[in-house]
Structure 1
Amino acid sequence: MSADENIDDKPQPLVEHLIELRKRLVWSLAAFFAGFLLCFAFAKDLFNLLVLPYKWAVIWSGLDPDKMQLIYTAPQEFFFTQIKISLFGGLLIAFPVIAFQVYSFVAPGLYKNERSAFLPFLVASPILFIIGGAIVYFFLIPVVMLFFLGMQQTPESGEVAISLLPKVSEYLSLIMSLVLAFGLVFQLPVVTTLLSRAGLVTAEWLAKQRKFAIVIAFIIAAVLTPPDPLSQLGLALPTVLLYEVAIYAAKLVERRRKEEQAEAASEETPPEDTPPGDET
């Protein structure tokens, strides 16, 4: 084993590991609490920002955006909605700190080549989560709300007026569930690449499971999204595309592993054969 592959972790008693774990937990909780307080101070502004996709849908539907409104039917509902916004936002803000604390705790027990391989995934994971959330915010929510706004009914021809008046808590739940669903689904390439590096899955195996993955993608979309075809397709189709990206990423990992093995084999010098008659 080369020097670069040595584990830097020194043997420590269990108490010291627990102290180290406590320190990492304290830093993580402190970052989360700070993010929560920051988001709570601007909770109403954040909620108004989350309402923008709904406003875009109102404009696209030809309605007057100045007349749109959201309601709450319980005195404490909007307050707890702000609490949920603050918790969700605090977790997102604190995620880089939490991820770094987790990495700092487990890194001493990893080989140096494993640490260098793990760091890119630590960076890619939040980026992919943000991409998934951006798709929800800029595309899926406006399209879904436009679909729901189309179900309104004006009091013409003796029909009763039916208007969409979303509750603040239900609208926030819709946003949060879709952002979490897309954010987790967009981790698929990261997870499969890590599994491929660990040798638990191969690109060939992933390709053979493609038909099952497509069915599972639509089942997950039906469970995690509202019961309308637009949001379900909006989650299922990117999941299928990400699965194809995961297969390609697994192929790259396998190709790189073969190249590293070839380089390691070329660096090994075979022992020279002793000519006959020179043996002592």
Structure 2
Amino acid sequence: MTDQQQAPEESFISHLIELRARLVRAAIAVIAVTLALTPFMQQIFDLLSAPLLAALPTGSKLLATGVIAPFVVPLKVVLLVGFVIALPYVLYQAWAFVAPGLYQHEKRFALPILTSSFALFLLGMAFCYFFVFGVVFKAVAGFAPASVQVAPDIDAYFSFVLGMFLAFGATFEVPIVVVVLVRFGLVSVAKLKEIRPYMIVGAFVVAAIVTPPDVLSQLMLAIPLILLYEAGVFVARFVAPREKPADDEVTGSDAA
């Protein structure tokens, strides 16, 4: 095998080694933060369950139907919180791996997109926790008959909360997706405005799929989704690639 043939292979192997190292560092960061939060496992789960308990009658508690659920579910919550706290470092490792292969103008665009994506995802989770949960849980509890004691299972509650966090976190990423699509010329601002009616219908369809089957929670996902889409269209106007004037194209063709 010649030196020219060995060079690409060695480069590929070195990239794999670097990728493994950065994945290990990211995993260690998540595990370290999770372990640091483990002594506060009960308090963190109580904080997560506070919106539901606030909507239930005074003295209500969640149920643990599984044998090890009282330990496993709070541990899952701590792992989720640990991942969110360590996410900036995880994203830094991803950025450090791909940045050497980017051009300077790509780095200037990618870094703000990366940080904005993280901030918007956290904003979506915060909106869900501080606003959506309180409204939805009170509405659901209000429909319960007087003969029914509402005591959700903690495992089912965690699954519900995780799904809602992911749904609203992803929803708040819509402006980033719109800006990236426009910036790389995959779609134009005019086209985004043209498909606005379809997007509104799609927002309600998505909300109906990922939220509980009640109108209130669906509206609280669909409306922000529509508003964030409009915000993305507005910002995309400033990052859209400039089209060459027709006069320049004619001059270029004449010169040829």
Same fold (TM over 0.5): yes
Report deviation, 1:41: 2.8
The aligned amino acid for 1:243 is Y
Q: Distance in 1 between matches of 2:22 and 2:123?
A: 28
Q: Distance in 1 between matches of 2:73 and 2:90?
A: 24
Paired residue for 1:28, among 26, 42, 47?
A: 26
Give me the identity figure in percent. 39
Report deviation, 1:116: 1.1
The aligned amino acid for 2:127 is I
Which structure 2 residues correspond to residues 1-280 of structure 1 after superposition, within 5 A?
13-58=11-56, 63=57, 65=58, 67-154=59-146, 161-254=147-240, 257-258=241-242
The superposition leaves residues 27-77 of structure 1 with CA deviations (integer Å, 9 ceiling, x where unpaired) of 11111211222333322111100122123324xxxx4x2x11111112112
Number of aligned residue pairs = 239
| Structure 1: runs of 5 or more not aligned | 1-10, 155-160, 266-280
Q: Which runs of 4+ in 1 moved over 6 A?
A: none
1:40–1:82: 8 Å Cα contact kept in structure 2? no
Q: Distance in 2 between matches of 1:37 and 1:216?
A: 41
TM-score relative to the length of structure 1 = 0.80
Q: Distance in 2 between matches of 1:40 and 1:215?
A: 43
The superposition leaves residues 220-254 of structure 1 with CA deviations (integer Å, 9 ceiling, x where unpaired) of 11111111111111111110111111111211112
1:40–1:86: 8 Å Cα contact kept in structure 2? yes
Q: Distance in 1 between matches of 2:179 and 2:145?
A: 49
The aligned amino acid for 2:239 is V
Q: Distance in 2 between matches of 1:153 and 1:219?
A: 29
TM-score relative to the length of structure 2 = 0.87
2:122–2:169: 8 Å Cα contact kept in structure 1? yes
The superposition leaves residues 100-149 of structure 1 with CA deviations (integer Å, 9 ceiling, x where unpaired) of 11111111111011101111111111111111111111111111110111
Q: Kindly report the root-mean-square deviation, in angstroms, between the aligned alpha carbons of the 2 structures.
A: 2.1
Q: Looking at secondary structure, tell me which structure has more helix per residue.
A: 2
The superposition leaves residues 177-228 of structure 1 with CA deviations (integer Å, 9 ceiling, x where unpaired) of 1111000110111122122211112111111111221122112111111111
2:189–2:237: 8 Å Cα contact kept in structure 1? yes
Q: Distance in 1 between matches of 2:234 and 2:101?
A: 30
